[in-house]
Amino acid sequence: MKRRIYGLETEYGIICTSSQQADKPMSIQSAVMYLFREIIHGRMYPDVFLENGARFYQDIGCHPEYATPECDSVIDLIAHDKAGERITERLLLSAERRMQNENVKGKMSIFKNNTDTPGNTYGCHENYLMDRRVSFRQLAAKLIPFFVTRQIFTGAGKVKPSNRGRYAISQRAEHIREEISIATTTARGIINTRDEPHADREKYRRLHVIVGDSNMSEYVNLLKVGTTDIVLRMIEANFITRQFALRNSVHAIQRISDDVTCTRTVELENGRRLSAVEMQLEYLDLARQYLEREGSDPTTDLVMKCWEHVLTCLQDDPEQLDRELDWVIKRRLIETYASSRNIGWDSPKITMLDYQYHNIRTDVGLYYKLEHDNLVERIITDAQIEHAMHHPPETTRAKFRGRFVKLANEKKIMCGVNWSYIQLYEPYQKLFLSTNPLQAEYEEASRMIYSI
């Protein structure tokens, strides 16, 4: 598929602290309800679709979760993912003002990361629309080695307990238990088998990826989704003939995560030993050959340029990537801070620094302080993010969903919305949207919208 639907689902970590030491902190459930109160419009449960076509809801474990609308451009996806952060930040500030007005003492913090202090994990799930003719066995065989090794540029970084090392490249790697699994909260797999395409099931499959980290860096999100798309294109074209299968993929993903030098090798089923960088360089080489045959486009050219750049630097010295990769940026921050204050990595201040890197508040989060000082690479502009907060993609099915929600909110009309349908309650009308999420023009949806 040269044109594909992409989506990101981000589960945010949330904490609420009391402003006075003697006060009992607000429960997370109460904090989440304050967060959603502005947009649920009297609903009992926090689960709404927004005017930009996205879904914002409470997931398992009281995590606010933002799911982007269907995007057919990686650049649009990055903008809509960042729009989720800005929307969540706006709701956070609104919730704190409401708490103050109601004399509720407390402060909320929301983090775009994947682990909390007790060791629980929550995810960033990637979604890719795929050609169903590709067998699942073929998909897993070619994708698992790619996912195991891509963490060297997609990892968010994590400070580890002192008895288990010091720093890991990936936050999710240590929570992966299987190669293939349907579970998302227990026996998590490198390949997840959930298949809800919200599209024509005869034609499409949804690849649901739960192995990746949540990323602050726009550059990393470009690489994470863009390189995966290229590999999927090669798999759909049956272009990958090299044998990349690993001897023990679960062991390999954790072994790679624990090596910040990116030089450790892992064993393939055929007896070869490759480092993660070497494995990725082989995928990159195949991608060059594939694109020479099939042709490219500006976004793919950018992905290829960035892919080659990070692999070259990782092979030489990962520290060179302290403007691009989350795990390197954060590690450099922590090392500088610990050295300047002569403290160890087991200090609570280092743990706090780890979390504050992922704080979504643009006036508090450490990533955003770096962005403000032009110390990180960007892919999109603030104007693109602002636009994505209020407008759905114009080239996918999300266009109609977003327009419908906007009109219903403006006119205060009771309605129901899902990925697959829109409906009015009075007078009752229900319309299933096109089974092709790549279809932007849909006459029946237009008629319903214009009837409001």
Examine the pLDDT at 22 and tell me if it is beyond 70: no
Examine the pLDDT at 428 and tell me if it is beyond 80: no
Question: Between residues 291 and 416, which one has the greater pLDDT?
Answer: 291
Taking each helix axis as running N to C, give the angle between helix 276-294 and helix 218-236, from 0 to 180 degrees, rounded to the nearest 10: 60
- Per-residue model confidence as pLDDT tens digits over 349-393: 999 999 999 999 999 999 999 999 999 999 999 999 999 999 999
β-strand pairing of 63-67 with 6-11:
antiparallel
Confidence (pLDDT) at 19: 65
User: How far does the chain reach from its first CA to its final CA, in angstroms?
Assistant: 36
- Per-residue model confidence as pLDDT tens digits over 116-141: 888 889 989 999 999 999 988 889 99
Quick one: pLDDT band at residue 421, thresholds 50, 70, 90? confident
Least confident of 16-30, 150-164, 271-285, 308-322: 16-30
Q: What is the mean pLDDT of the chain?
A: 92
Q: What mean pLDDT do residues 257-278 have?
A: 97
Examine the pLDDT at 96 and tell me if it is beyond 60: yes
Quick one: pLDDT band at residue 163, thresholds 50, 70, 90? low
Is residue 49 within 8 A of residue 401, CB to CB? The reply is yes
Cis peptide before 427 (omega within 30 of 0): yes
Q: What mean pLDDT do residues 51-64 have?
A: 91
Confidence (pLDDT) at 429: 79
Confidence (pLDDT) at 42: 63
> What is the set of active-site residues?
59
Q: What mean pLDDT do residues 417-446 have?
A: 82
- Per-residue model confidence as pLDDT tens digits over 180-218: 887 677 778 888 888 888 888 999 999 999 999 999 999
Give the Cα separation of 359 and 221 in Å (integer).
Answer: 17
Confidence (pLDDT) at 277: 98
Confidence (pLDDT) at 311: 98
Confidence (pLDDT) at 25: 72
Confidence (pLDDT) at 44: 65
Confidence (pLDDT) at 13: 94
Examine the pLDDT at 448 and tell me if it is beyond 80: no
Q: Whole-structure pTM over 0.85, yes or no? A: yes
Examine the pLDDT at 49 and tell me if it is beyond 80: yes
Examine the pLDDT at 177 and tell me if it is beyond 80: yes
Q: What mean pLDDT do residues 272-280 have?
A: 98
- Per-residue model confidence as pLDDT tens digits over 213-248: 999 999 999 999 999 999 999 999 999 999 999 999
Q: What mean pLDDT do residues 421-437 have?
A: 82
Confidence (pLDDT) at 308: 98
